[in-house]
Structure 1
Amino acid sequence: MLEIDADAVLRRLTEQGRARAAAVDRHHLLLWDALDLALQGGKRFRPRLVMATHDALGGVRPGAAAEVGAAIEMLHTAFVIHDDVIDDDHVRRGRPNVSGTFRADATSSGAGALAAGGYGLAAAVLAGDLALAAALRTVATCDAPPDVVHGLLDLFDLALHTTAAGELADVRLALGTAAVTLDESLQMEELKTSAYSFALPLQAGSVLAGAEPPTTTRLGEAGRSLGLAFQLVDDLIGVFGDPEQSGKSATGDLRTGKQTPLLVHARSTPQWEAISSFVGRDLETAELDDVRDLLASSGSRAFVETLVEEHLVAAREVLADMGVSLDFVDELMARPPLVVAGQGTAA
């Protein structure tokens, strides 16, 4: 039921946004069309985490939980749109993203490549800003007492600061000006993903349910562990995944030299000299197969898979103690299969 309610809230938000945009400018309305498209798809696990926690802790505000869950999904969309700008990606889930859509529109209107690219990036920044504003407004106007709303806004504010720090660290660590340690890489991933995708919805559900602060704190710790596991799996998919199933490029992380734990660990292995020749440039299919083989034979893939399981175990222990369904958590980690030498294998 929650998935339907959260989707209903998101539809209302985009309809309201369209109405406001239409009163301003028809080109501005196109931003909301692109934002609506960016919201499509996905498992809506963030709203589901809010409600699962809210229900497990005896909450009595399902309407507010649906609003807050939708707000977190809108926040996620804002971050995704901006992340694509940072990474200079123009495709998401196998189709043009916001920047890709507006770039194509400008090109079809006769704009040159540079101008069209700038237009696409501007549209993506603005669409992400609109999504961010809509998310915060939704929390501020949700059907909950003022003290609860203030607590939720504090959580959102912390998630915003944490995620911004993680995104900046992601780019900074890829500068190549200093060797990146495994601790630095793991901290970056925790800041970038765990705070808003997992700790925030778990803690928001706790606050909505009126739980005591120690409970909310423990759920934040579980969220950080769960989020790190999720991000590590995403890193694996970013190299070993099938783009047709995941909607994620299998060469983007290597091309941009992202300092994921996968690559940081690989740097410590004898295979690094060979692996490094594939980092920082576009790869052909045969080259991608070669670097996949090297990352597997070096033990880096297995190392990351072990980290995933360790963090999942830590999160499951806390969530089980809180009564949050473990089946639900396991469902969250059911990601697209990975590819090894052309053969699918579950992640």
Structure 2
Amino acid sequence: MSDLKPKFMEVYSMLKSEILQDPAFESTEASRQWVEHMLDYNVPKGKLYRGMIVILSYKALKEGTELSNEEFFLACVLGWCIEWLQAYLLVLDDIMDNSHVRRGQPCWFRQPKVGLIAINDGILLRNHVTRILRNHFKGKPYYVDLLDLFNEVEFQTSSGELIDLISGLERENYSLPVYHRIVEYKSAYYSFYLPVACALLMAGENLDKHVKEKGIFIELGDYFQIQDDYLDCYGDPEVIGKVGTDIEDGKCSWLVVKALECANEEQKKLLYENYGKADAECVTKVKELYKVLDLQGIYAEYESKSFEKLAKSIKTHPSKAIQALWPICAKGRSMAVKR
């Protein structure tokens, strides 16, 4: 994938230029500079795994034949549409979570002069996706299907975000089923299903024929989100690119769900009294309880078994588009896909 990223980045520069020169809006010099800075700050700063999955999956579907320049370019464009969608989701997510750091830099809304203008920036990012799709895919037989796919996945992701946001209001209802539902809709579909589905549409496939394959995307979403939850508590901010705040925010994370499963009544009481409070002493008490319950050991056992299962499922899957996910899964094992 290292040789793929420079070529992928070249397409970003082209798409950014198109956005800045979009004839539908007569921009001022100030607005053009704002949008350019906003794009560079938010869109290309992650690992870009989601975007590059489109290219890898499409190549696999072409049975290893050399892609034409147009095919490669269009696969890159779809990949960037997903990265643009990701940026939109994260800009708004950081505001809702009152986060401080994202991808090793201050969250966009915390930048000088930005503040809640970031809400409109998020809306712009989402609209850019539609503009890019129109510019490069209108007239393609799968254009309407692409629009429908992006709209559906955005709806699923926003609905999952809602469950995540309101789950903290009723912490006594934290459970694995609730957690898995949040992950499925908030993360799995746009992180894994969307890239592969884009490749399938480009290859002329009917997505209705691949409904049964969604299960493996949900498994992938679970694996990487649970890893992300673990790193939120135990990861080095310098490595993972953000400061974990799941405990302070009262998130329905895998760690708190497992803690409630393992805890006795007294420990549950301690957890309810301290979880979800932006107080250093409360956070320390929660982390001490996690240590007593050996959540790090429980996670290590889960991670090992889950990775082995995923490896087998992906490598032996009949769909070449899904087999193409393996390099990214293997590389991403050491730390979660950056969000």
TM bucket (normalised to shorter chain) is: 0.7 to 0.9
Q: Is the 8 A contact 2:50 2:79 kept in 1?
A: yes
Shift in Å at residue 296 of structure 1?
Answer: 3.6
1:265 aligns with 2:275: no
Per-residue CA deviations over 1:191-234 (Å, capped at 9, x if unaligned) read 11111111111221122223354663344332221122111111
1:23 aligns with 2:27: yes
CA distance in structure 1 between the aligned counterparts of 2:328 and 2:183, rounded to whole angstroms: 23
* Bigger mean CA deviation after superposition, 133-142 or 75-84: 133-142
CA distance in structure 2 between the aligned counterparts of 1:243 and 1:334, rounded to whole angstroms: 14
CA distance in structure 2 between the aligned counterparts of 1:291 and 1:260, rounded to whole angstroms: 13
* Bigger mean CA deviation after superposition, 190-199 or 290-299: 290-299
Match of 2:146 in 1: 152
Which of these residues, 39, 45, 51, is aligned with residue 49 of structure 2? Answer: 45
Q: Is the 8 A contact 2:275 2:283 kept in 1?
A: no
Q: Is the 8 A contact 1:78 1:129 kept in 2?
A: yes
Match of 1:330 in 2: 330
CA distance in structure 2 between the aligned counterparts of 1:139 and 1:84, rounded to whole angstroms: 26
* Bigger mean CA deviation after superposition, 317-326 or 45-54: 317-326
Name the SS for the 1:239 alignment partner: helix
TM-score, normalised to structure 1's length? Answer: 0.81
Name the SS for the 1:43 alignment partner: coil
Match of 1:129 in 2: 123
Shift in Å at residue 66 of structure 1?
Answer: 0.6
Q: Is the 8 A contact 1:170 1:188 kept in 2?
A: yes
User: AA paired with 1:319?
Assistant: I
Match of 2:94 in 1: 84
Matched ranges for 1:1-347 at <5 A: 1-19=3-21, 23-24=27-28, 26=30, 29-58=33-62, 60=67, 61-101=71-111, 104-105=112-113, 120-121=115-116, 123-143=117-137, 146-176=140-170, 179-211=173-205, 213=207, 216-250=210-244, 252-268=245-261, 269-270=263-264, 271-284=267-280, 291-309=286-304, 312-313=307-308, 315-320=310-315, 321=317, 322-323=319-320, 324-325=323-324, 326-335=326-335
% same residue: 23
Shift in Å at residue 295 of structure 1?
Answer: 1.3
Shift in Å at residue 190 of structure 1?
Answer: 1.5
Per-residue CA deviations over 1:261-316 (Å, capped at 9, x if unaligned) read 221221231233334444222344x8656533421431444445555555545544
Per-residue CA deviations over 1:88-113 (Å, capped at 9, x if unaligned) read 12432232222100xx33xxxxxxxx
Q: Is the 8 A contact 1:63 1:143 kept in 2?
A: no
CA distance in structure 1 between the aligned counterparts of 2:309 and 2:165, rounded to whole angstroms: 28
Relative contact order (C-alpha < 8 Å, sep 6+): which is higher? 2
* Bigger mean CA deviation after superposition, 233-242 or 317-326: 317-326
Q: Is the 8 A contact 2:197 2:207 kept in 1?
A: no
CA distance in structure 1 between the aligned counterparts of 2:140 and 2:295, rounded to whole angstroms: 48
Instruction: Label 1:24 to 1:247 Cα distance change in 2 as closer, same or farther (>3 A).
Output: same
CA distance in structure 1 between the aligned counterparts of 2:299 and 2:149, rounded to whole angstroms: 29
TM-score, normalised to structure 2's length? Answer: 0.83
User: AA paired with 2:260?
Assistant: R
Name the SS for the 1:259 alignment partner: coil
Q: Is the 8 A contact 1:57 1:211 kept in 2?
A: no
Q: Is the 8 A contact 1:233 1:305 kept in 2?
A: no
CA distance in structure 1 between the aligned counterparts of 2:33 and 2:149, rounded to whole angstroms: 31
Instruction: Label 1:177 to 1:41 Cα distance change in 2 as closer, same or farther (>3 A).
Output: closer
Shift in Å at residue 85 of structure 1?
Answer: 1.1
Aligned residues: 318
* Bigger mean CA deviation after superposition, 159-168 or 177-186: 177-186
User: AA paired with 1:23?
Assistant: S
Q: Is the 8 A contact 2:61 2:203 kept in 1?
A: yes
Shift in Å at residue 146 of structure 1?
Answer: 2.6
Q: Is the 8 A contact 2:54 2:199 kept in 1?
A: yes
Q: Is the 8 A contact 2:247 2:283 kept in 1?
A: no
Question: What is the RMSD computed on CA atoms of the aligned residues?
Answer: 2.8
Q: Is the 8 A contact 1:219 1:318 kept in 2?
A: no
Shift in Å at residue 128 of structure 1?
Answer: 1.0
Q: Is the 8 A contact 2:46 2:103 kept in 1?
A: no
Structure 1, unaligned stretches of length 5 or more?
106-118, 337-347
